[in-house]
Amino acid sequence: MRSFLALLDHRKSIRIRIVGSFVLSFLIAFIGSAIITVNSFFDRLGSTLSAIASLLAFIAIFLLVFFMFTRRIVRYMQTLASGLMTIAKGNLKYRVPLSNQDELGVVAQNINYMAEQLHTMMDKERRLEMSKIELITHISHDLRTPLTSIIGYLNLLKNDDYRDLEEHKRFINNAFNKTQQLKKLIDDLFDYTRLTSGDVTLSFQRIDISSLVEQIVNEFEPIAQEHSLAVHKIGAPQALYVQIDVEKFVRALDNLLMNALKFSLKPGEVAIRLAERGEQVVLSIENRGKPITTEQEALLFERFYKAEPSRHDRDMPSGAGLGLSIASHIVELHGSKLKLHHQNGHFSFTIELPKVL
CA distance 225 to 269: 10
Residue 145 has pLDDT above 60, yes or no: yes
Q: Are residues 319 and 210 in the same domain?
A: yes
Q: Give the pLDDT confidence of 15-29 residue by residue, as tens digits.
A: 777 888 888 888 888
Asked which of 153-157, 193-197, 344-348 is least confident by mean pLDDT, the reply is 193-197
Residue 126 has pLDDT above 90, yes or no: no
CA distance 187 to 181: 10
Q: Are residues 242 and 173 in the same domain?
A: no
Q: Are residues 215 and 264 in the same domain?
A: yes
What is the domain extent for residue 50? Answer: 2-91
Q: Are residues 230 and 266 in the same domain?
A: yes
Residue 137 has pLDDT above 50, yes or no: yes
Buried b (16+ CB within 10 A) or exposed e, 325-348: bbbbbbbebbebebeeebeeeebe
Q: Are residues 101 and 162 in the same domain?
A: yes
Most confident stretch, 288-292, 305-309, 350-354: 350-354
Last residue of some domain: 61, 91, 121? 91
Q: Please give the pLDDT value at position 124.
A: 85
Q: Please give the pLDDT value at position 352.
A: 94
Q: Give the pLDDT confidence of 238-288 residue by residue, as tens digits.
A: 888 999 999 999 999 999 998 888 888 889 899 999 998 889 999 999 999
Q: Please give the pLDDT value at position 7.
A: 46
Q: Are residues 141 and 230 in the same domain?
A: no
Rg of the chain over CA atoms, in angstroms? 36
Q: Are residues 305 and 240 in the same domain?
A: yes
Q: Are residues 99 and 81 in the same domain?
A: no
DSSP conformational letter for 286 = E
Q: Please give the pLDDT value at position 354.
A: 93
Q: Give the pLDDT confidence of 194-232 residue by residue, as tens digits.
A: 787 777 788 999 999 999 999 999 988 888 888 889 998
CATH number, domain of 158, equals: 1.10.287.130
CATH number, domain of 251, equals: 3.30.565.10
Residue 302's pLDDT band, with cuts at 50, 70 and 90, is low
CA distance 260 to 232: 13
Q: Are residues 157 and 287 in the same domain?
A: no
Residue 318's pLDDT band, with cuts at 50, 70 and 90, is low
Residue 350's pLDDT band, with cuts at 50, 70 and 90, is very high
Residue 351 has pLDDT above 90, yes or no: yes
Asked if residue 202 lies in contact with residue 245, where contact means CB atoms within 8 angstroms, the answer is yes
Domain count within the chain: 3
Q: Are residues 251 and 341 in the same domain?
A: yes
Q: Are residues 323 and 224 in the same domain?
A: yes
Q: Are residues 59 and 100 in the same domain?
A: no
Is 322 exposed, middle or buried (CB count within 10 Å of its CB: 0-12, 13-18, 19+)? buried
- Residue spans of alpha helices (H) in the chain: 2-8, 14-38, 47-69, 71-88, 103-158, 165-197, 209-226, 246-263, 294-299, 323-333
State pTM to two decimals: 0.57
Q: How much of the chain, in percent, has pLDDT values that exceed 70?
A: 84
CA distance 11 to 5: 12
Q: Please give the pLDDT value at position 204.
A: 92
Q: Is the peptide bond before 267 cis (omega within 30 degrees of 0)?
A: yes
Closest CA to 306 of 324, 291, 286: 324
